[in-house]
Amino acid sequence: MHEGEAMTATTDGSTGALPPRAAAASETHLDTPVAAGIQEAAVRAVQRATEHLLARQDAEGWWKGDLETNVTMDAEDLLLRQFLGIRDESTTRAAAKFIRGEQREDGTWAGFYGGPGELSTTVEAYVALRLDGDAPDAPHMAKASAWIRAQGGIAAARVFTRIWLALFGWWKWEDLPELPPELIYFPKWAPLNIYDFGCWARQTIVPLTIVSAKRPVRPAPFPLDELHADPADPNPAKPLAPVASWDGAFQRLDKAMHQLRKVAPRRLRRAAMNSAARWIIERQENDGCWGGIQPPAVYSVIALHLLGYDLQHPVMRAGLESLDRFAIWREDGSRMIEACQSPVWDTCLATIALVDAGVPADHPQLVKAADWMLGEEIVRPGDWSVKRPQLPPGGWAFEFHNDNYPDIDDTAEVVLALRRVRHHDPDRVENAIGRGVRWNLGMQSKNGAWGAFDVDNTSPFPNRLPFCDFGEVIDPPSADVTAHVVEMLAVEGLSHDPRTRRGIEWLLAEQEPDGSWFGRWGVNYIYGTGSVVPALTAAGLPASHPAIRRAVAWLEKVQNDDGGWGEDLRSYKYVKEWSGRGASTASQTAWALMALLAAGERDSKAVERGVEWLASTQRADGSWDEPYFTGTGFPWDFSINYHLYRQVFPLTALGRYVHGEPFSRTEAL
């Protein structure tokens, strides 16, 4: 925690930032703007932030901030290397140094900055430090193992953690949920076929079916008895849920699958594993990764290795090289693993921020960014075409290489970014925008909203599987993605298109009773509200519309005493206590301001105080400090600190405060 930060006990027994408007303002790096006037302070902040952001652009035209998650990425990277027999001392030492530095005073590791200790994360971090030679009786290790035992030990950890432990005999494969490779043969109309899962889960589950079928065990380098609540009974039997419940039904289905494993035809199983392997290899990207994210790459490498692919095979060699590119080596000699990389997302957001901050639309760096984004357009079908086989491609992904999984959110924001740039080849830009708009419209779900990667990915069954106990495994429509698409369609002159209107109607119906909107991909109600209000006003809803007024009232209500806004990730779990509550952050303050400015509140006291907070907490180099995690992979279960969020969103908000809204609004609906 930062020095002087207020602490309190939370509803889950942990400590964290105070949820009410009581957190102190961040350290002030500039003179207070009150005397000079808020407008002048905002102008100075915009100038500094613009210079800082322009200086961070890569020579190729893209921006990318670090994508920080939790230490499970680092621990699992070491376990992978141990499993493959390629773990080296220098990598282990650097990873362990980072993991050790993230341990909390109570011996645990959290899923996000300032969050409560998390059992599975703590188990994996502990094992990683054992790999580096930390003794079980060392004070920091003893403290961690005692806490793990008090939480129920390894038996209470999530399935994915116990899979990693099973690879070394620290857990029994028969005590894990069954995941048969024959799943690859389920037709697309059948429940629990692989396309019922969200793309991130699909890419992970297919290779794990091979791992589950093979049940490999490598010699354990040390015992882990100290992590069992009762070493004599490491996996106590758990009572079954009632047979009439969904949980009970799926638990009994899993037991049946364990029995089926004993009689499943070997030829069918071998064929299923080979089909799964072909599916995996077909989806390997040009850079060797899978989907541009670390977990599917890790499990794909393990699965193919179990099927006989040696480490020098081109597929394996490229896969391992891609994993090295997720590593960030720090000046102190530590090594952090990114779960993913976000250059397309960061670049389009940076472009929007700079233009809205007053950088000329034909500025050479903006043109270079547009050129890079145009080169990243995906012009071939991917897994999304399973549901939309007739839809021509034309979207953008999140990462450097991920042609199989363009996403709707990035596509909408890239279109908004390209529309802001005055490019030397306007026809090329128009054609790319046209394809992106067409693709996004074609990816609308039947309820009128948009998910992130797929159409109507809303099956209720995948989340019920005993195997799926960690995060979201489906991709239903969300308010934030839908809002970005609606805003993009409005800017493209399609406010009155029936498809846009259906999206607007869905958003209005999804507003919470308190006036906020839920944020699926950002934390949380501030992000949702900060996304939806600008979209609705861009589409022509007047500032006087009841939905807009309710949103404004909610934002004013949850503003912190220091003038900023913040929301802790606990709002995903404890909505009533934490909704809109938390220490002020630069990105969340910006989201609130973007909503209020779009609602016509520029001269309000709330906006003035928010602008003043951003200006007064800006660092001398034009950046902001933000240790808090304001992004999500899975709400609550997997949290993200996008290091560029603290820069692009404050610049966008301050730019709109200084220069006004970026586009004229269409007539009211």
Domains of the chain: 30-59+512-669 (1.50.10.20), 70-227+241-337 (1.50.10.20)
Cα separation, 61 vs 417, whole angstroms: 13
pLDDT in tens, 384-405: 999 999 999 999 999 999 999 9
The structure tokens listed for 468 are: 């799926």
pLDDT confidence of residue 664: 44
Residue 103 has pLDDT above 50, yes or no: yes
Average pLDDT over residues 628-637: 93
Question: Residue 598: what pLDDT?
Answer: 97
Residue 257: its pLDDT value, please? 72
Query: Does 410 qualify as catalytic in the annotation?
Result: no
∠ CA(120), CA(124), CA(125), 5° rounding? 115
Structural tokens at position 668? 């009211």
Tell me the two tokens of residue 137.
Answer: 């009786």
Q: How much is the pLDDT for 102? A: 97
Q: How confident is the model at residue 510 (pLDDT cuts 50, 70, 90)?
A: very high
Report CA 88 to chain centroid distance, whole Å. Answer: 30
User: For residue 462, which amino acid is it?
Assistant: P
Element (H, E) at 652: helix 645-659
pLDDT for the residue numbered 22: 33
What are the tokens at 88? 């080296």
**Element (H or E) spanning 206, and its range?**
helix 199-214
Give the pLDDT confidence score for residue 248 in this predicted structure.
73
Res 235: pLDDT:
80
Would you say residue 466 has pLDDT above 80?
A: no
Residue 576 has pLDDT above 80, yes or no: yes
Query: What is the CB neighbour count within 10 angstroms for residue 174?
Result: 11
Burial 436-463 (b: 16+ CB within 10 A, else e): bbebbbbbbbebbbbbbbbbebebebbb
Compute the distance between CA of residue 396 and CA of residue 427 in angstroms, rounded to an integer: 18
Q: Which residues contact 357 (CB under 8 A, 6 or more apart)?
A: 46, 49, 50, 651, 652, 654, 655, 658, 659
Q: What is the pLDDT of residues 200-252, one digit of tens each?
A: 999 999 999 999 999 999 999 999 999 999 888 888 877 777 877 777 776 77
> Of 514, 411, 476, 503, whose CA–CA distance to 635 is shortest?
476
Nearest to 667 by CA among 518, 542, 494, 497: 542
**Band (256; pLDDT cuts 50, 70, 90):** confident
CA angle 474, 301, 259 (to 5 degrees): 65
Q: In angstroms, how far is the first alpha carbon of the chain from the final one?
A: 47
How does residue 5 score in pLDDT terms, banded at 50, 70 and 90?
very low
Assign 9 a pLDDT band (cuts: 50, 70, 90): very low
**Can you tell me whether residue 631 is helix, strand or coil?**
strand
Rounded distance, CA 331 to CA 441, Å? 45
* Catalytic one of 409, 475, 480, 562: 409
Tell me the CA distances in angstroms from 518 to 155, 220, 411, 530, 572, one per residue in order.
33, 44, 21, 10, 9
Tokens of 384: 């999304």
Convert the pLDDT of each residue in 437-457 to its tens digit.
999 999 999 999 999 999 999
Angle between helix 294-306 and 199-214 (nearest 10) = 30
* Calpha distance 26→23 (Å, rounded): 9
Residue listed under structure tokens 């039997």:
237
Q: Any idea what the Cα angle at residue 562 is, between residues 656 and 655, rounded to 5°?
A: 10
Percent of the chain with pLDDT over 70: 93
Dist CA 545 CA 536 (whole Å): 10
For residue 626, name the pLDDT band (cuts at 50, 70, 90): very high
The pLDDT value recorded for residue 663 is: 55
Please enumerate in sequence order all residues whose Cβ is within 8 A of that of 327, keeping only pairs 6 or more positions apart, or say none.
77, 335, 336, 337, 338
> What are φ and ψ of residue 124, in 5° steps?
-65, -40
DSSP string, 22-71: TPPPPPP-S--STTT-HHHHHHHHHHHHHHHHHHT--TTS-----EE--T
Q: Cβ distance 573 to 636 under 8 Å?
A: yes
> How high is the pLDDT of residue 567?
98
Mean pLDDT along residues 288-299: 91
pLDDT band per the 50, 70, 90 thresholds, residue 33? very low
What is the C-alpha separation between 498 and 640, in angstroms, rounded? 35
Average pLDDT, stretch 319-325?
Answer: 93
Averaged pLDDT, 35-48: 88
**What average pLDDT does this structure show over 611-618?**
97
What pLDDT, on the 0 to 100 scale, is given for residue 254? 66
- d(CA 612, CA 599) in angstroms, rounded, equals 19
Task: Report whether 168 contacts 217 (CB < 8 A).
Answer: yes
pLDDT mean over 151-168 = 96
Across the chain, mean pLDDT equals 91
Residues in the chain: 669
**Half-sphere exposure of residue 250: CA atoms within 13 angstroms, side-chain side:** 17
**Distances 35 to 44, 145, 626 between C-alpha atoms, Å:** 14, 54, 26
Q: Is the pLDDT assigned to residue 304 strictly greater than 70?
A: yes
At 13, which amino acid appears? Answer: G
Residue 368: closest CA among 423, 433, 431, 426: 423
